[in-house]
Amino acid sequence: MRGDQIGRAMPLALASLGGLYVTQSVLGGFIWSALPAVMRERGMALERLGFLSLLVLPWALKFLWSPWIEAWRRPVAGPARTKSVIRLGGGLILLATLALALVVDMPLPALILTLFIIATATATVDIACDGHAVEAFPSSAYGWANMMQVGGAYVGAALGGGLVLVAIDRLGWSAGIAVLILTCLACTLPFLLLPQPAPRAAPAPSGPSLRAALARPQLRRGIWITALFVAAMKSTLGYFGPFLVDQGFTLTEVGLFSASGSLVVGVIGAIFGGYVVARLGTLPVLMIALAGQALVLAYCLGVAAGLALPLRPLAVLTQIVSSAWLAFGFVALYARFMQWSDPGQAGVDFTIFQCTDAGIGMVLGFLGGQLAGHFGYSTLFGTALACSALCAFGILISWRRADPARA
């Protein structure tokens, strides 16, 4: 694909790439947003809900197999096999999701195993998607590709955490899972059916290497900053839905607020965050996002502690405002991922940062369930608020040490 053909095909290629990111986030939104609310409504204890956080494990560990996936996807001789990775992973996801639809009251161990298969396949497909995005588009189109990634993530979260949750509440479990399957197929098929741009450069002769990535001080500092930011922003993310359910909100209400937050405010927050990053730089955006999320946590703490606060703003804050702050901050952080990554193996480096994000979220999600289950929501939100302040201080110190002239 060359010359004017690239110009004509680029919008379709970018849109179909966005569809892949929507699919991945539909599945993630279902697993980490809709499912905890459904399980809590069915009476599952908060301590057991914490085990759902273990489903982040494939996303936290996918850096371990990313070099092998990339080596197979980009052979030294022959065309790229991006579509093959997506077909294989998508077929496995489809089979596992059909099992969810057919078995309404699946025992918890079987449910965890099935969801673990879905999460592993999705995380593996994501390696191929990120590699394709970096290698197949010119650097002048990276801004658009990044918008497809971030925007697709929030659209998918709205569909998986909102639309699917409403469908389960209104139509039942099996019909809701059918909506999930159809949504994923509709978003994935355009990429598989449309011609895609070929890689613009040959694969690295020595192959991708985790050792080379971790040897760079800049990447290690980036991992530390990422861990601090994720700990501050996502420590209670999986418990906003159950908290609302325990405060008397229905699944439909939680789903509609979640969809609104992800689809509208999340996308706007991502776009606005990109604009502010260009004006002020990354660090101010991260600090603003941390302050905004801290206000959300403070309100949740007040409600959990029994203060006479109105409940209606609680849904708006946790499902809409929180999504805006997440999008606002993470669009800045993901832009830094690209700068911290080595262009020679950007797919592997980018995956390492994503794994840091997922791993910290998994650990804190599990610990959050134990805190909430044993000591109550007030302890959970109070601890998260204190953690947020400490992480903000840590980011400031690390950032200035890494680049004092640009802090």
In this prediction, residue 404 carries a pLDDT of 44
Q: Where along the chain do its domains lie?
A: 4-402
Half-sphere exposure of 399 (CA within 13 A, CB side): 21
Other residues' Cβ atoms within 10 Å of the Cβ of residue 8: 10
Q: Which helix (H) or strand (E) holds 100?
A: helix 82-102
Residue 262 CA to residue 341 CA, distance in Å, equals 27
Which pair of tokens denotes residue 385?
């608020």
Residue 352 CA to residue 213 CA, distance in Å, equals 9
Strand ranges in 59-131 using DSSP code E only, listed in sequence order = none
In this prediction, residue 398 carries a pLDDT of 87
Residue 308 burial (C-beta neighbours within 10 Å; 0-12, 13-18, 19+): exposed
**pLDDT tens for each residue of 14-57:** 889 989 999 998 988 888 778 888 888 888 877 777 777 778 78
Instruction: Check: CB of residue 259 under 8 Å from CB of residue 163.
Output: yes
Q: Where are the alpha helices (DSSP H) in 142-281?
A: 142-158, 164-171, 173-193, 210-214, 217-234, 240-246, 251-260, 267-280
Residue 186 CA to residue 403 CA, distance in Å, equals 44
In this prediction, residue 407 carries a pLDDT of 41
Share of the chain above pLDDT 90, in %: 27
Q: Give the fold, CATH level 3, of 4-402.
A: Growth Hormone; Chain: A; (1.20.1250)
Q: What is the pTM of this model?
A: 0.74
In this prediction, residue 5 carries a pLDDT of 44
Residue 393 CA to residue 397 CA, distance in Å, equals 6
Comparing CA positions, the residue from 320, 272, 284 lying closest to residue 299 is: 320
Comparing CA positions, the residue from 365, 342, 337 lying closest to residue 353 is: 337
For residues 220-228, give the mean pLDDT: 92
Q: How far is CA 141 from the centre of its chain?
A: 22
Averaged pLDDT score across all residues of the chain: 83
How sure is the predictor about 214, in pLDDT bands with cuts at 50, 70 and 90?
confident
Share of the chain above pLDDT 70, in %: 89
In this prediction, residue 340 carries a pLDDT of 81
Please state, in angstroms and as integers, the Cα–Cα distance from residue 83 to each residue in 11, 45, 75, 293, 315, following that order.
18, 41, 14, 38, 40
Which pair of tokens denotes residue 312?
């209606």
How sure is the predictor about 1, in pLDDT bands with cuts at 50, 70 and 90?
very low
Residues 6+ apart with CB under 8 A from 238: 32, 33, 36, 49, 52, 53, 365, 368, 369
**pLDDT tens for each residue of 265-301:** 767 776 777 778 778 888 898 999 999 999 999 999 9
**pLDDT tens for each residue of 119-162:** 999 999 998 888 888 778 776 776 677 778 777 887 888 788 88
In this prediction, residue 198 carries a pLDDT of 81
Instruction: Check: CB of residue 301 under 8 Å from CB of residue 378.
Output: yes
Please state, in angstroms and as integers, the Cα–Cα distance from residue 55 to each residue in 51, 52, 100, 157, 199, following that order.
8, 6, 15, 16, 32
**pLDDT tens for each residue of 166-183:** 898 889 989 999 999 999
Half-sphere exposure of 347 (CA within 13 A, CB side): 31
Q: Dihedral sign, CA of 49, 231, 129, 77?
A: negative
